[in-house]
A and B are shown apart, each in its own frame.
Chain A
Amino acid sequence: DTEVTQTPKHLVMGMTNKKSLKCEQHMGHRAMYWYKQKAKKPPELMFVYSYEKLSINESVPSRFSPECPNSSLLNLHLHALQPEDSALYLCASSYKSGTPTEAFFGQGTRLTVV
C-alpha cells in the first residue's frame, strides 16, 4: 500500500464551524506534512510531524490546529476560518531517516469557507 488517503475530498464550512481534515498512511512513514495550496500557486508547507511530534510550524495561524494521534494518522482541526483560507489542503508522508526516498502525497481536501 503506497497511498496517502485524505478525507473528505471536499468540504464546505461556515466561518463559525469546527471541522477536521484527516490523513492516513500505512507505509510505516514516521514523517508527515500538511500543505496549503491556493489556485495557480505552489503548495505551501504548514506543519511537519516527526515521530508523532510537531517539529516544524511555518507560523501558521492558531485557527489551524494539527494533531498526530498515532504513526498512521494526521489530523488538521479547523476553527473560525476565514474565506481566504479556502484552498486545497494536501497531506504527505515520508521516512524520517535512512536512505532518502520520496514523499508521498494525498489527493487533497478541497476546502471552501463561506
Chain B
Amino acid sequence: DAKTTQPPSMDCAEGRAANLPCNHSTISGNEYVYWYRQIHSQGPQYIIHGLKNNETNEMASLIITEDRKSSTLILPHATLRDTAVYYCIAWTGTASKLTFGTGTRLQVTL
C-alpha cells in the first residue's frame, strides 16, 4: 500500500477554487487515487477516485499526472461547508488496507 504525502494545512477564500495536492510516488499499478474528507467528528465522506485519467463529479475534479506520482483535488467554488480534513489515499478498492495519511486541513474563509 503506497504512502501519500499532503501539506498539513491550506487556506482558501470562499468562492475561489481550492487546489489540494498529493504526492504518491510509490503508487502501484493496481492502486487508485481516492480522496475523502472528514468534517469534524463525522465519518469520512467519499469525494472522488481515479486510476490514471482525470475525473470530475458533482463535488470535485481530480487531476492525476501522467506518471501517476502525484494528483490534485480541485474544489471549483469552495464554500464554508468545505472546511474539513482532506485525505488522499492510494487503494486498490478491494478488501485490502485502506490506509489514511495525515491529510490536509482545509480552512475556507470569508
Contact = CB atoms under 8 A, between A and B. Distances in A.
A39 B107 CA distance: 18
A94 B95 contact: yes
A42 B100 contact: yes
Interface string A72-105: 0000000000000000101010111101111111
A30 interface: yes
A100 B32 CA distance: 8
B44 interface: yes
Contacts of A110: 41
Given A33-B98, A100-B32, A100-B49, A94 B93 contact: yes
A43 B32 CA distance: 19
Contacts of B100: 42-45
A92 B98 contact: yes
Contacts, number: 67
B97 A45 contact: yes
Given A42-B103, A100-B32, A31 B94 contact: yes
A31 B91 CA distance: 14
Contact residues on A (Cβ < 8 Å of other chain), bracket: 20 to 34
B101 interface: yes
A21 interface: no
A34 to B, nearest CB: 11
B65 interface: no
Nearest to A108: B43
B43 A106 contact: yes
Contact of A102 (B46, B87, B102): B46
A55 B95 contact: yes
Contact of B95 (A30, A43, A90): A30
19 contacts: A42-B87, A42-B101, A42-B102, A45-B97, A45-B98, A45-B100, A49-B95, A56-B97, A90-B43, A90-B44, A94-B94, A95-B93, A100-B93, A101-B93, A103-B98, A104-B46, A105-B36, A107-B43, A108-B43
Interface of A: 4, 30-31, 33, 42-45, 48-50, 55-56, 88, 90, 92, 94-97, 99-108, 110
